[in-house]
DNA sequence: CCCGATTTCTGACAGATGTCACGGCGAATC
DNA sequence: GATTCGCCGTGACATCTGTCAGAAATCGGG
């Protein structure tokens, strides 16, 4: 019984190389391969893969959102997130989105095939180094409001804009941003934003 | 006559997948594969590859520096830089470091093998989309001093620290940073730094 | 219902940041 | 030689940003 795979990664060269690598395994077959997050569900419906390997950085729809849609619409397809080590903060959200595996691109060569087989066996698979790092990062210490403000800060450059968008006084916004920078151990809101984002606190 | 290849990329899974992909070509043979920039030269001396494929993001020594060392010490080995689309600003510096090819990971699947063969035939190979983008980004509009200050700003967080390091008045540093933000079309020095870095202006 | 604790929100203040107008210097041009 | 132009360096000014102490609102337990 061969395992049918769907592959999603926006870097075509990488996607193709991974496809070749996986197709070499006698019990694997890559049945679909897409370069955009918003093509994942359609491809899954058309080709009925057993496992979907999704990158996080993709145009259209990111891998986490794609995972959520996919698990809702094609529940028999198991989702494995495959991404860069820097994006490890998304582990928790990936699990909430219904993923059952999380493999980093720094992992040893055979980790991917191994993860696929174990996922098919019903296990959840997470790189142990990664799990430890996530555990160390811990729960988000940010309050709901601090998170809101940080998210708004991502698209709005100035405090006044954020205040206007959230219907807050400027002082309030500055206060939340200050709290966020303290809790992230950074020195300004730009760094706080980056750190919080990396740790999956947004 | 088979073409001997050296592969350098810090993401082991990706490196292995690319290795498998290239080894499938009948006229290619991957003779060395390393995960750090500072291992490139030693591996090249030991295995005498015809072409070295180098990623830019690597620990130890980045791909550009590795390319410079490699072309100096093993001049018969041709260097092809293989990297992410976001790092395209490094094209000029890659060429200055002695690279004869520049392939992005977004390229079509056969672009890499094609690039290797053309490089072996004595051609220089650059993705046309990429060349156009680089041309559009153009020469750096930054003055020498503005570049210095931006580079110092990368490691020092505050204006006072930069001023102390470069023996300038704080006002002067602020002035250069202001110039840099204007020329990059950004709103603060953080963004200016990021943009200038992406475009290879540093 | 009341009390304390937590969260939300605000204005005030000091310090950092970005912009401006200015003078000095060297190279290219007329 | 005089002029023009671009780059380097500086201080002054208005604005933005981060931190603080504390008021109002919310919530859960006694």
Mean pLDDT of A150-157: 85
Mean pLDDT of A5-9: 97
What DSSP designation does A26 have? Answer: T
Q: Which nucleotide is nearest to B170 (CA to C1')?
A: D10
pLDDT tens digits for range A60-95: 999 999 999 999 999 999 999 998 876 767 888 888
| Coil/strand/helix, residue A48 | coil
**Of A14, A111, A188, which has the smallest distance from its Cβ to B14's Cβ?**
A14
Q: Which residues contact A182 (CB under 8 A, 6 or more apart)?
A: none
If phi > 0 it is left, if psi is from -120 to 50 it is alpha, else beta; for residue A143 that is beta
Per-residue model confidence (pLDDT) at position B137? 65
Residues in A touching B157 (Cβ below 8 Å): 187-188
For the cut 80, the answer to whether the pLDDT of residue A202 exceeds it is: no
Rounded to whole angstroms, the Cα distance separating A160 from A91 reads: 33
Residues in B touching A159 (Cβ below 8 Å): none
pLDDT tens digits for range A30-57: 999 999 999 999 999 999 999 999 999 9
CA B178 to C1' D13, whole Å: 15
Q: Which of A54, A137, A47 is nearest to A92 (CA)?
A: A137
Residues in B touching A187 (Cβ below 8 Å): 157
Q: Which nucleotide is nearest to B168 (CA to C1')?
A: D9
Q: Which nucleotide is nearest to B160 (CA to C1')?
A: C16
Kindly list the domain boundaries of chain B, sorted by start residue. 3-137, 144-198
The token pair at A79 is: 């989702």
DSSP secondary structure string for all residues of B122-165: T--EE-HHHHHHHHHH-S----HHHHHHHHHHHH--SHHHHHHH
CB contacts < 8 A (A, B): 73
Instruction: For tokens 């990297």, name the residue.
Output: B83
Mean pLDDT of B55-62: 93
Mean pLDDT of B44-53: 96
Homologous superfamily of the A3-134 domain (CATH): Response regulator (3.40.50.2300)
Integer CA distances (angstroms), B2 to A202, B28, B33, B121, B140, in order: 51, 5, 17, 13, 41
Residue A105 near residue A85 (C-beta atoms within 8 A): yes
Contact call for B11 and A188, based on CB within 8 A: no
Neighbours of B201 (CB within 10 A): 22
pLDDT over 70 for what percent of chain B? 98
Contact call for B108 and A84, based on CB within 8 A: no
Per-residue model confidence (pLDDT) at position A137? 61
Model confidence band, residue A59 (pLDDT cutoffs 50, 70, 90): very high
The token pair at A25 is: 């395994």
Model confidence band, residue B18 (pLDDT cutoffs 50, 70, 90): very high
pLDDT tens digits for range B75-126: 999 999 998 876 767 888 898 899 999 999 999 989 999 999 999 999 999 9
Q: Indicate the Cα dihedral angle B156, B157, B158, B162, nearest 10°.
A: 20
**Of A11, A14, A157, which has the smallest distance from its Cβ to B187's Cβ?**
A157
Neighbours of A129 (CB within 10 A): 13
Q: Which nucleotide is nearest to B188 (CA to C1')?
A: C18
CA B200 to C1' C15, whole Å: 33
Dump strand ranges (E) for chain B: 3-8, 28-34, 51-54, 78-83, 101-104, 125-126
CA B63 to C1' D16, whole Å: 39
Note whether B3-137 and B144-198 share their fold.
no
Per-residue model confidence (pLDDT) at position B27? 95
Homologous superfamily of the B3-137 domain (CATH): Response regulator (3.40.50.2300)
Rounded to whole angstroms, the Cα distance separating B62 from B37 reads: 6
Give the DSSP H or E segment for A160: helix A159-166
Model confidence band, residue A138 (pLDDT cutoffs 50, 70, 90): low
Mean pLDDT of A188-194: 86
Per-residue model confidence (pLDDT) at position B191? 86
The DSSP bridge partners found for residue B30 are: B5
Query: Rounded to the nearest 10 degrees, what angle do helices B144-155 and B170-184 cross at?
Result: 100
pLDDT tens digits for range B125-177: 998 888 887 777 667 788 989 999 999 998 887 889 899 999 999 999 999 99
**Residues lining strand D, beta carbon within 7 angstroms:** A 157-160, 170-171, 174-175, 177-178, 181-182, 187-189; B 143-146, 168-169, 171-172, 174-175
Instruction: For tokens 């002082």, name the residue.
Output: A171
Rounded to whole angstroms, the Cα distance separating A7 from A33 reads: 5
Residues in A touching B111 (Cβ below 8 Å): 13
| Coil/strand/helix, residue B34 | strand
Q: What angle do CA B171, B173, B174 make, to 5 degrees?
A: 65
For the cut 90, the answer to whether the pLDDT of residue A112 exceeds it is: yes
A187 touches chain B (CB under 8 A): yes
Q: Considering only A24-38, A43-57, A154-168, B20-34, which range has the smallest mean pLDDT?
A: A154-168
Rounded to whole angstroms, the Cα distance separating B83 from A1 reads: 37
Q: Which of B132, B11, B168, B17 is nearest to A15 (CA)?
A: B17
Residues in chain B: 202
> Of A126-130, A176-180, A181-185, B11-15, which one has max mean pLDDT?
B11-15
Contact call for B13 and A157, based on CB within 8 A: no
A17 touches chain B (CB under 8 A): yes
What's the CATH architecture for A144-198? Answer: Orthogonal Bundle (1.10)
């Amino acid at each position: 019984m061969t395992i049918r795979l769907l592959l999603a990664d926006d870097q075509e060269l990488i996607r193709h190389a991974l496809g070749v690598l996986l197709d070499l395994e006698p019990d694997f077959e890559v049945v679909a391969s897409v370069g955009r997050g918003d093509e994942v569900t359609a491809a899954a419906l058309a080709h009925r893969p057993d496992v979907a390997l999704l990158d996080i950085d993709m145009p259209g729809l990111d891998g986490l959102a794609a995972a959520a849609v996919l698990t809702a619409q094609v529940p028999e397809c198991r989702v494995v997130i495959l991404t860069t080590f820097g994006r490890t903060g998304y582990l928790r959200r990936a699990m909430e989105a219904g993923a059952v595996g999380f493999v980093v691109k720094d992992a040893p060569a055979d980790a991917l095939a191994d993860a696929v087989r174990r996922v098919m066996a019903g296990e959840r698979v997470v790189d142990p180094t990664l799990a430890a790092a996530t555990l160390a990062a811990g729960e988000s210490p940010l309050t709901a409001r601090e998170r809101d403000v940080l998210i708004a800060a991502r698209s709005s450059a100035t405090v006044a804009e954020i205040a206007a968008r959230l219907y807050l006084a400027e002082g309030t916004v500055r206060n939340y941003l200050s709290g966020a920078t303290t809790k992230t151990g950074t020195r300004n809101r730009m760094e706080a934003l980056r750190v919080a984002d990396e740790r999956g606190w947004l």
